[in-house]
Structures are given as structure tokens and as C-alpha cells.
Structure 1
Amino acid sequence: MMIYKPMVFETCTNDSDLVTPFFDFNRKRYVLHIDESVAAKILNSSETEFNCYYQEITRYADHDSYDDLPPRKYFSQDYVVPLHVQGMILGCSEVANDSNVLQTDAFGFVQHIPTPLAVAKTHAKPAHRKPSVIMFGIDSLSKFNLRRTMPKVYNYLTREGWYEMQGYNKVADNTFPNLMAILSGYSPDAANEKICNTSEKGCFDRIPFIWKYLKNVGYLTAYAEDSSFMNTFNYLRPGFLIQPTDYYYRPMLKAFNDEMKAWKCEECTLTYCIGRRIQSSYVYDYAKEFVRRYVSERPIWGLFWSSSFSHDDYAMPSKMENFVLQYLLDFEMDSVFDDSIVIFLSDHGARYGKLMDLDSAYLEERLPAMFIYLPPWFRAQYPQYAKALKTNRNRLTSNFDLHNTLKHIVELAGVSNAPPLPKANDCPTCQSLFYPVSASRNCSDAGIPEHYCTCEPFKNIKSDWSSRIAHRVIDRMNDYLWAKNMSSLCHNLTLDYIHKTEIKIGLEHNFNDDLSHMDIGVYRTKFKVEQNSADFYATVIYNNITNHVDVDVETISRTNSYEEDSTCIQHKIVKLYCICFTNLKS
């Protein structure tokens, strides 16, 4: 709190909307309404004529982006949007002077898909009621930083029906492997080995993501992320060839980002506004439209993920506190919490920045926010599951458990005598959170690698010999770059200084025991290299007799930004450790 300063919310425009889409529930169609008083105000005249037009956004048939925008299509007052139009960029301009643009805007639509009669009938029967699942994700938000920067949101998430998984521990470094674990039950390495190469086009279409199981039991599915340039399955990866879910927002937001003016606030490193709207609002509004359309009608699942205001600055969520809270209140007004299981989550905490200089950095990075809400009817129908969630609040849990919980929901919604679904591939001992987790569970049981495990304490050591650990780790990092054939692009790393070295205190020891005499121990070392002052944090097994270090280089954390250090390569993991010759600073 000594370094934290709350930020002030900023709007993208104070102008009124010239064109507003609204959904006509009788016709089940979107209608574009033009506010002529706004046009008159902009033109300083009610007599000047103007035209409004839009360009439809369509997804490439076999590419995870949008097709070239077609010619403008002009529309008049209360225009009924064709059902095939999923998104549009629109504008209005003066008839006599086409370059005088009154206003531009962009919209994504949740066009109506009729509910199959069988689904509607089944969903209406209380005994067969299928819980909708809405996942509301904010990138890089630890459970601590939620309390620190969004106390109003945190207070909302502690109301009746909510369960915070306070022992929820990430299983990997960044967004991609952590969301892979939740959505597929696979780590990237296991998916590469057992299914397909995730760097090749078409691979993600073959992976058994949770939305495929949900669709099989009658769910309507949606997936939306902001910050299109670094979407989970697109950043240095090929994305999807086939649209993955019934509603998929990436082509729309990619078009908005590419075709419209963007703006960054003074403190921002990522785009804050696209066109007239805050970037994350496109995703959240899409979520609002999706649940309003279907939540009382049929079972739905949606993941709505934002990174634009949280990924690069731990303090920026404070700017958005009331903004995020209002969406939760809107969900409440739309009866989402009457019908749905809601999961408010993150992938990990801050991975670089000022928080990484604090003693709590290790925990900050590894313990993301995770809250699960159960609606009243679900708690009444399955009291044992609510009781288990209450028990699990203070037990060690992981992404793989959440995956199994989603599979459990699919099983509840499926045929009663259907065979059980396969559990998380990379954690055979993981389970649904609707069952009590063992109080003596360890990280291995939860599928959490040693480097990300927060269960057992470490303490600083001051012995002179401890500096050998960082040197050996750097040797291994250089060997890794050489093995990846990156030595011609990436500079050899050399030690600048060691921030700290810590030794793991096993639970069989007292914290104050002197363990410096141990021949073999588990250590953490945080150090800076001379090249571009890059900081790293490694967990290693070190033999004090042989000077041998056992470390998985790909688990070593980079704790300051590497965006400007590794522009010469596109390999997502190697970028963490590579200081390009072309990016080397004096």
C-alpha cells in the first residue's frame, strides 16, 4: 500500500450516441435507431441532411480474423439489422459534404438463435434444470490485488452464494497454459504430444475444449476477449480455423481495433479506448447481450475475458473498479444470479512491475483471484456441492480442478446413465470442486509444478556459496538458448547481481532450523543479468557438493517486461529468456 496509488476512471467520449442498436424482443431482431437531435446538435442545424451507413464484419472462412470490409450500406431510421450481420462499423456524414463525418461507432450483435424445442422442454423441468455458466475473467489479477485495487468488487464477491477459492494456485507461467488447463485439462506440452502441435494451424480445432462437451448437452456457447493482438489462442499462435463457439467475438474486435481510432490514457501501455468506447466494454457488453437474450430461456456457457486494463499495470484495475462493479450489478438486474453459476477468475497475478520488487511477489504472481457463485436453486437442489465449495475455500486447488468442475456440470446436464467424462489429462489426482478436497493435499496432487507451488515456506540465506546457484542457472539458460538454435540471435547471459537466494523449509522442519549444511535442497534464486537488466526468478534443486543445478529452464519466471528485449524472435517461451543482439541496450 506504500507504493499503490488509485487511478481515476476516464471516459472515451462525453458525446451522446447518434446511433443506438436495441433488441426488439417481439421480433427478436436488432433495430438501429438514429437520434436526430444529436445530429442536429453536431451540425448546428436541424435542416442539414445527413446519411448513415455501415460496413458488415464477417469472419474469414478458415482464418481467425475478419474479411475485408465490404462497401458501405446506407440505412434509414429504425433499420432492422439482417440476421446474418454479427458486427458492424458504422458512421453518419453530411450529404453535401461526405468528409464531414458526424460520428463513427462499432457494434457486435448476439443475433437470435431459436431454442430447440427439446432443450426448452427439458430446461423447464426443475428436476432436469441445467445451470448456465458465465465466466468473467480479468487477466493478471491476484487475489491480493483484487482486494487492493477493487475493494467494492471484492465486497460484492463475498455476498451470499459466493465462494472464494483462497488456496487456488496457478499451474503455469502465463495466460495460455493456465487457460488451457481450465478449458481443456491439458498442458501445452501434453497437447503437443498427445493431440497435435499447438503452433500449427488447425490444431486448436482438434483439442477437446470444454465448450464442445457443453454443446453436446444442449448449451449455447460464447467466447470473447479484448486486446485482440494478444488473445490467448492467437498471440504467436494460429488461433482457430473453425469458429469455436456459437458466438465468437474475435473477428469483430479485431476489426474494431484495426479500422477505428484507438487511444491510450496517460498511464496506459495498452489501448484504453477503441472508437467511442473503453476496449473492455465491447466484451462486457457482449456478455450482457448474451445473458439477456438466453439466460431465462436455455442453458448457456460463456467466457468473457479482459486484459486491456490489468495486464501491464497492477494499479490500473482501480481505474475500472466502479466500471466492473456496474456490470456485476447489471447481471444482477438481468437475473443472471438467479439462474447461473458465475465464475469470477484470473489466470495469475502480476508477473512483472513494481509488485515484483516486494517480499510478497512470489505469492502475488501465483495466487490468482477465483470466486464461484452458486444460484439459490442449485444450492437447494445440490446442498452437498455447496457444502463442498464452502469446505474447499481454504484448501489447495488448481486450474485442473476447475476443469473437472466444468466437466461435472456437463455430467449434471447430460443423460443420467451416460459414462463419466474424462478428467483433466495432466492431473489424474485432480477432482471436481463440488467434492471436498483433502486438507493434506500437496502441490503434486493438484498438478502444480514446484516452481509455482506456494504451499511450503522459503527463507533467505546469506551464505557466500549461495551465489553459485544463480551462476549455474544462467549457464543452463545459455545452454537452452543454444539448444534452440538461438545463439546467433540472442546474447549470452551474464550475471549482474543477485536479489536474493532462498531455501525451502520442508514441513518436517521448523522455520528457524539451520539448513545451510544440506547437501541437496530446493532453492529459489532471483537475479539480474547484465543484458538489458533483465530479472529472473528460478526454482532449482541444487547439490552443494557437486555444484549441480537441476532446473527446468522453461519454468524460470521473467519478472520485468521483455516486450522490447526479444523482437527478433516469435517463439512464445524463448522470448522470456532471449535478449536480442538487435535489442541490446548499452
Structure 2
Amino acid sequence: YITGFMEDVPHIGTFTYRLKGFKEQPTDHYMRTYYLAAQPFFTNSKKWCFGGTPRHMLMLNYIKNIFNVYRDNPKFVFGFHGELSHDSYNDIGAADEDLYQWVKSLQDQGHLNNTILILMSDHGHRFAEIRNTIAGKQEERLPFFSFTFPPWFKQAHPEAYANFVYNTKHLSTPFDVHRTLQNILKIGTPKQGDLSQRDMSLFDKIPLERTCADAFIEPHWCACLAWEELPTTNGTVIAAAKSFIEFLNSYTEEHREICEVLKLDQILWAARLIPTK
């Protein structure tokens, strides 16, 4: 395979933010060195541009060139553009027409006849007040993620394709996507997904009863949970409150000269997280 790895903001790259990156160039084509060299010149151009070229087009054109040069070679290319949307996604719409024309160009030139194209985001807004709403919470946890298959794929692998469509309505994770990419190299007979596995190919059928716990998703990031209010007289609620008070008293035991012994006075509100349908 011809390989490519592109990220446009090198100081917060997947393998460089709080990490040490690579000792050697990890793929055949790698844009980090280009962006490091080009960044000092970005300040001389208009916002989001390098000279007269929108900066997102630098990466899109580079990827398209890989497809044109290696037309007859198998390829795995990962490009991630974050500059337009990282701090605020209000600007990302500026790339809509360019992205459309880029995908259309790949299709018109026949590249998508033997390519699985994935368009994705990594997460929703991380700071905005919209995160305090139900919609914002879901968006943060359920970013856009799409697969486009070659026209012949559905006919060649009808059961795998049907399972893939079925799984769009079920709980899946990035680990499942990773397993799916491995599965693409050798698509066998689809099967029922195993709940004991952390990852399942999206060409297999994910069980309807799969939970965030089954998929190793922490409760904070689970998009399939809702708050259910509980009566403050509930035995479990009272026991949890007392346990918390005991923990606090134990934590402050060594500083009793300045810390009072706490006692449970009143429970004002209680709720629990439960799976949604």
C-alpha cells in the first residue's frame, strides 16, 4: 500500500500533542514537515489562506495528487484538517463548496470506483454553552461519521453491506471502525457481533442490547444514557449520601482541628443514569 498521513496543525497533532511524535517519517507521504516550514509564512497571507490558496485546499489537493499519481496502486491515506473548526465551527462552512468539488472530482475521475471514502469529525464543540443542552451534549459525543462505498460493493457483499446499514442505528465506537478497516482487507462471512469483544466489525451485526459498558465507554461519554429522577427517600439514594459523607469525614480526619465532622442533614435531589431506547 501507498500510505499518507496529513494533519494541518502540527503542534496539536495526534501523535505530537503532549507526545514525542515519530523518530522517522511514518508514511510514504507526510505533510507535517511542510506545515512546520510553511507556518511562519501564513501570517503574511489573509486569514485561512496561504498566498491566494485556501489552506484547507493545500491538503485536499495533496491528497488528490496522491490518487492521480498512484492511480493503479492500493492506497491508505488519512488527512485531518482542524484549523477551520478547532476553536469554533462557525468557519467550517467556508470549505463546503471546496469539499463538494473535491469529492465530485474524485468521483468524476473514477477514483471512488475502488475506494472507500470516510468523511468524519473527531468530536463536537468542547467549550461553547451549547454543550449544556441535550443537543450539544449529543453533538460532542456523536460527531459526523460517514462511509461511501464503491457502487459495486453492495452487490458484491450484500450481507456485509446490509449489516453496515443496520449498524448505523446501533451503538458503535472508534474501535469498531478500526476492526472494520482491518476487515476490509479480507471480508469474510459476516456474523453476529460478540458482546464480550471490545470491537466489532461494522460488517457484522452489532447486538441491539449492546451497552456503553459492553463497549468500554465511560458513563460521562455515553450518548445512550438519560437522567431519571429518584425520590430522595429511596434507600439506595440515602445509602449513597451517607457513604459520601463518611468518605469526606475520613478524608478530613487528619485535620479535625480545622475541619468539622459532617452529618447528613437533607437530600435535595437525586437522579441516576439509565440507558435510553
Q: TM-score range by the shorter chain?
A: 0.7 to 0.9
Aligned partners of 1:228 and 1:257 also within 8 Å: no
Aligned partners of 2:42 and 2:49 also within 8 Å: no
1:288 to 53, 64, 70: 64
Unaligned runs of 5+ in 2: 189-195, 248-277
Name 2:126's counterpart in structure 1.
351
Q: In the aligned structure 1, how far is the partner of 2:208 from the partner of 2:144?
A: 20
How many residue pairs were aligned?
239
**Compared CA separation, residues 544 and 229, structure 1 to 2 (3 A):** same
1:318 matched to 2:15? The reply is no
* Alpha-carbon offset, residue 446 of structure 1: 1.9
TM-score by length of 1: 0.38
Name 2:31's counterpart in structure 1.
249
Q: Which residue identity does 2:128 align to in structure 1?
A: G
* Alpha-carbon offset, residue 448 of structure 1: 1.3
* Alpha-carbon offset, residue 330 of structure 1: 1.7
The CA deviation string for residues 456-487 of structure 1, in whole angstroms up to 9 with x for no partner, is: 212xxxxxxxxxxxxxxxxxxxxxxxxxxxxx
RMSD of Structure 2 on Structure 1 (CA): 2.4
Q: In the aligned structure 2, how far is the partner of 1:447 from the partner of 1:392?
A: 18
The CA deviation string for residues 410-461 of structure 1, in whole angstroms up to 9 with x for no partner, is: 334xxx9xxxxxxxxxx83321001111111101222211110011212xxx
* Alpha-carbon offset, residue 360 of structure 1: 2.3
The CA deviation string for residues 221-241 of structure 1, in whole angstroms up to 9 with x for no partner, is: 111111222211112221111
Aligned partners of 1:314 and 1:350 also within 8 Å: yes
Q: In the aligned structure 2, how far is the partner of 1:349 from the partner of 1:260?
A: 26
Name 2:14's counterpart in structure 1.
232
Name 1:336's counterpart in structure 2.
111
Q: Runs ≥4 in structure 1, deviation > 6 angstroms?
A: none
Moved more, 381-390 or 392-401: 381-390
**How high is the sequence identity, in percent, across the aligned residues?**
27
**Compared CA separation, residues 515 and 260, structure 1 to 2 (3 A):** same
> 3-state SS of the aligned residue for 2:84?
coil
> 3-state SS of the aligned residue for 2:116?
strand
The CA deviation string for residues 330-375 of structure 1, in whole angstroms up to 9 with x for no partner, is: 2212222211111111111111124224342221210111111111
Aligned partners of 2:56 and 2:95 also within 8 Å: no
* Alpha-carbon offset, residue 387 of structure 1: 0.7
> 3-state SS of the aligned residue for 2:40?
helix
**Compared CA separation, residues 547 and 242, structure 1 to 2 (3 A):** same
Aligned partners of 1:400 and 1:447 also within 8 Å: no
Aligned partners of 2:6 and 2:32 also within 8 Å: yes
Q: Which residue identity does 2:244 align to in structure 1?
A: N
Unaligned runs of 5+ in 1: 1-218, 266-271, 417-426, 459-504, 506-512, 522-541, 551-586
1:279 matched to 2:55? The reply is yes
1:544 matched to 2:241? The reply is yes
Give 1 or 2: higher helix fraction: 2
Q: In the aligned structure 2, how far is the partner of 1:256 from the partner of 1:300?
A: 26
2:223 to 433, 451, 454: 454
* Alpha-carbon offset, residue 246 of structure 1: 1.2
The CA deviation string for residues 462-516 of structure 1, in whole angstroms up to 9 with x for no partner, is: xxxxxxxxxxxxxxxxxxxxxxxxxxxxxxxxxxxxxxxxxxx3xxxxxxx6444
RCO greater where, 1 or 2, for CA within 8 Å and sep 6 or more? 1
Aligned partners of 2:3 and 2:27 also within 8 Å: yes
Name 1:405's counterpart in structure 2.
180
Give 1 or 2: higher strand fraction: 1
**Compared CA separation, residues 409 and 515, structure 1 to 2 (3 A):** farther
**Compared CA separation, residues 256 and 411, structure 1 to 2 (3 A):** same
Aligned partners of 1:257 and 1:274 also within 8 Å: no
TM alignment of 1:178-577, pairs within 5 A: 219-259=1-41, 261-263=43-45, 265=47, 272-295=48-71, 297-412=72-187, 428-458=197-227, 505=228, 514-518=230-234, 520=236, 543-547=240-244
Q: In the aligned structure 1, how far is the partner of 2:79 from the partner of 2:44?
A: 21
TM-score by length of 2: 0.78
Larger gyration radius, structure 1 or structure 2: 1
Q: Which residue identity does 1:275 align to in structure 2?
A: G
